[in-house]
Amino acid sequence: MGQRQYCVYTRSPKFREIALWLIEHKIKYEPHLNRTRFWIDQYSPEMIMFMLAYREDCELVPEGQLSTFLDMGDAAQMEQ
């Protein structure tokens, strides 16, 4: 099954609720200071529940964005 990557921003009013939902449903997540990224199987029951409850509160992370962030982080380390 393919996975979709989403993020919820820390300042979102529903951040805590979504974070607890991720833990409860054993969804793989990666916390960061500004946002938490998570991955949901595209055709799973969890995706249906997520879309019904939180689609307005989270953003889909575009496919190529992860490598861009990693490249930016590597560049920042090299400057130090």
User: pLDDT tens digits, residue range 67-79?
Assistant: 444 444 444 444 4
- List, for residues 8-59, the tens digit of each pLDDT value: 999 999 999 999 999 999 999 999 999 999 999 999 999 999 999 999 999 9
Return d(Cα 17, Cα 79) in angstroms, integer.
38
pTM of the model: 0.76
- Domains of the chain and CATH, by start: 3-79 (3.30.70)
Phi-psi region of 29 (alpha: psi -120 to 50; beta: other; left: phi over 0): beta
